[in-house]
């Protein structure tokens, strides 16, 4: 049963990536647009995609952990797992503990985008090879 759930990881992994990066892009858009209506829309969309992305990143982390149990142990796989756990915790902290109107919220968003990129790069290297 755990192998079956772990095999779902390649299918579910892209959804939280898309949601978290959409959150970063919507936040950046609302930061650059001065129109009140558009600003509100992008701010709300950013917050909602961040929360939903966090919830799906939990599912993705669990499926990835179960999937990794059937791989040969290697350093890159470990780093991918550590970064995925860090990303999941970070997204949770951002979703529920950091206030979006905070003065330094932009730094939190930049780090979120970087964490998604690094974690995705490690995962892509695992599946597509070192030239990815």
pLDDT of residue 87: 97
What are φ and ψ of residue 109, in 5° steps? Answer: -70, -40
Q: In whole angstroms, give the CA distance from residue 126 to residue 120.
A: 10
Segment 14-33 mean pLDDT: 92
What's the whole-number average pLDDT of the chain? 90
Whether the CB-CB separation of 59 and 12 falls below 8 Å is answered with: yes
Give CA torsion, residues 73, 75, 76, 77, to 10 deg: 30
Interval 24-75: pLDDT, tens: 999 999 878 877 887 889 989 999 999 999 999 999 999 999 988 888 778 8
Percent of the chain with pLDDT over 90: 58
The better pLDDT of the pair 132, 82 is held by 82
| In the predicted structure, residue 90 carries a pLDDT above the cut 90 | yes
Q: What is the pTM assigned to this prediction?
A: 0.90
Whether the CB-CB separation of 7 and 124 falls below 8 Å is answered with: no
pLDDT of residue 46: 93
pLDDT of residue 132: 64
| In the predicted structure, residue 96 carries a pLDDT above the cut 80 | yes
């Amino acid at each position: 049963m755990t192998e079956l759930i772990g095999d779902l990881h390649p299918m579910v992994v892209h959804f939280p990536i898309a949601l978290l990066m959409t959150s970063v892009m919507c936040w950046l858009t609302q930061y650059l647009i001065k129109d009140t209506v558009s600003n509100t829309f992008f701010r709300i969309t950013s917050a909602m995609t961040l929360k939903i992305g966090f919830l799906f990143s939990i599912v993705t982390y669990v499926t990835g952990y179960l999937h990794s149990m059937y791989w040969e142990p290697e350093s890159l796989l470990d780093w991918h797992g550590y970064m995925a756990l860090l990303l999941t915790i970070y997204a949770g902290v951002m979703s529920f503990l950091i206030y979006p109107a905070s003065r330094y919220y932009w730094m939190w968003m930049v780090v979120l985008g970087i964490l998604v990129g690094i974690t995705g790069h490690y995962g892509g290297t695992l599946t597509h090879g070192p030239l990815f």
